[in-house]
Amino acid sequence: MRGSSGRSTPLPPALPGKITVRLYSRPVKGFVRAALSAVRPTDVLPSPNIWNWPEVYEVENRAQDVDGAIWRALREACDWTGRDVVDVGCGDGFHLPVFARDAARVTGVEPHPPLVRRARTRVDGLPNASVVAGPAQRLPLPDGSADLVHARTAYFFGPGCEPGLREADRVLRPGGTLAIVDLDGTAEPYGPWLCADEPRYDPADVERFFAAQGFALRRVRALWRFETREDLEAVLRIEFSAEVAERAVARTPGLSFEVGYRVHTRRKPCGLVLP
């Protein structure tokens, strides 16, 4: 990947151990479908892809955004050099080492205990990186302790995430930025696959929600590139139902494709906010 400065930005180191990819053919609930179905009161939205197949999800993370388009968009909106960063829903901590290269400090927050352990293993040895256990709705962090709160395909999926938005504002310093990165359901080819599996998911409603919350929107096209065809197919099969995954595999020749993202950013006011 390449950062906005133009210098080469290597991928984060892989977790210890060999990554073995297996292909899956049985139906798998999509990530957004699982989140939308979690209507009972809960602090943790299920994430079946990384929860059930962390090794395949590691392959997916390493294949995403190989040209650094998302990182450039983030840095242009909120440069974190020398600042304090919080990554909400950090999963197994894949993005933490990237932030840690330039940030004063980066803190990953993750509610799922097995992922907390994996994330701590990943950042072991990085003096300015740490991981704490907790949900987006109750961040275990002090008021005004961060300059950037980042979340990537985690928790902030649209209506219903207001408690997390309030928590992010609480931990941000005045002038700090909340940056939410999520998949663009309107962008070919990935968006239609996502929407085919999630009939209740309306991309336009989601965009209207974030606009009403005061977020700016930037659309980004990021390149996903895999080392092998087996890797590509395994990733598609943990992200979609069997039917949609087969369609996606059939319509994706080669080892790469582009995926559309939405980057929503909102800056916390520096002065008095009048009602």
pLDDT digits (tens, 9 = 90+) for 174-205: 999 999 999 999 999 999 999 999 989 999 99
pTM: 0.85
The number of domains in the chain is 1
Residue 265 has pLDDT above 90, yes or no: yes
Q: What are the tokens at 140?
A: 């275990």
Is residue 24, in this structure, part of any structural domain at all? no
Instruction: Identify the bridge partners of residue 2 per DSSP, sorted by sequence position.
Output: 8
Q: Is residue 274 part of a domain?
A: no
Assign residue 203 the CATH number of its domain. 3.40.50.150
Does the residue 18 lie in any domain?
Answer: no
Reported as a pLDDT band with limits 50, 70 and 90, residue 24 is very low
Would residue 3 count as lying in a domain?
no
Query: Is 8 inside a domain boundary?
Result: no
Residue 5 CA, chain-centre distance (Å), reads 22
pLDDT (average), residues 17-21:
42
Binning pLDDT at 50, 70 and 90, where does residue 46 land?
A: confident
Tokens 């949900």 correspond to what residue?
135
- 261, part of any domain: yes
Q: Is 172 among the domain residues?
A: yes
Provide the token pair at 272: 């008095």
Separation of alpha carbons 31 and 269, rounded Å: 33
Q: Tell me the per-residue pLDDT of 210-230, one tens digit each, with 9 for 90 and over.
A: 999 999 999 999 999 999 999
Q: Does residue 54 lie in a domain region?
A: yes
Residue span of the structural domain in which 247 resides: 31-267
